[in-house]
Amino acid sequence: MAVAQVPRNFKLLAELEKGEKGMGAGACSYGLEDPEDIFMTHWRGTIWGPPHGNHENRIYELKMECGPNYPKEPPTIHFVSQINLPGVNPQDGKVDKNSVAILRDWTRIATELAKNPRPKEDPLSLETALIAIRKYMEEHKKLPQPPEGSKFAIYK
């Protein structure tokens, strides 16, 4: 028996509502880049730097793109704020999906979810991606960082 897949726009509407109401994790926030984006493709997010390291007391800005195959495929994520982090392109801030577990395993998890009933909490969302990136930042908290407020050249 096949399980019905939630249409892309329904899923993104639910994520938008959660993000706008601040119902998610306190260390991350997200919303549409342009409220008129009817396809809900371009998003902005923030991550509050994890404590006890070089990210502490910093707010990192990110751009996220949910392509036409989202949620079957992961969003494309770029840091707008400059960051020194393995798996983040030092020229444009793009996060290599292979460096963050949830992004690397996204397609496999989506395939499994299509076969089985959904768990209570959705393991694949913009919020879970941001939380995973924050955890990844915490694992690399001792790396020296660019000056506070620096942005990648393509976003200046």
What is the tens place of the pLDDT at every residue in 56-88? Answer: 999 999 999 999 999 999 999 999 999 999 999
Query: What value does the mean pLDDT of the chain take?
Result: 90
Would the pLDDT of 5 be above 70?
Answer: no
Query: 100-139, pLDDT tens digit by residue?
Result: 999 999 999 988 888 876 667 778 999 999 999 999 999 9
Order of all β-strands in the sheet with 42-48: 28-32, 42-48, 59-65, 76-79
Asked if 61 contacts 80 with a C-beta cutoff of 8 angstroms, the reply is: yes
| Amino acid residing at 12 | L
With tokens 């908290």, the residue in question is: 141
More confident residue, 138 or 6: 138
Of 64, 100, 73, which is closest to residue 85 (Cα–Cα)?
Answer: 100
Name the band, by pLDDT with cuts 50, 70 and 90, for residue 3.
Answer: very low
With tokens 């768990």, the residue in question is: 119
pLDDT of residue 2: 46
pLDDT of residue 1: 40
Contacts of 127 (CB under 8 A, 6+ apart): 15, 18, 19, 24, 25, 28, 30
Helices (H), the chain: 8-20, 101-115, 126-139
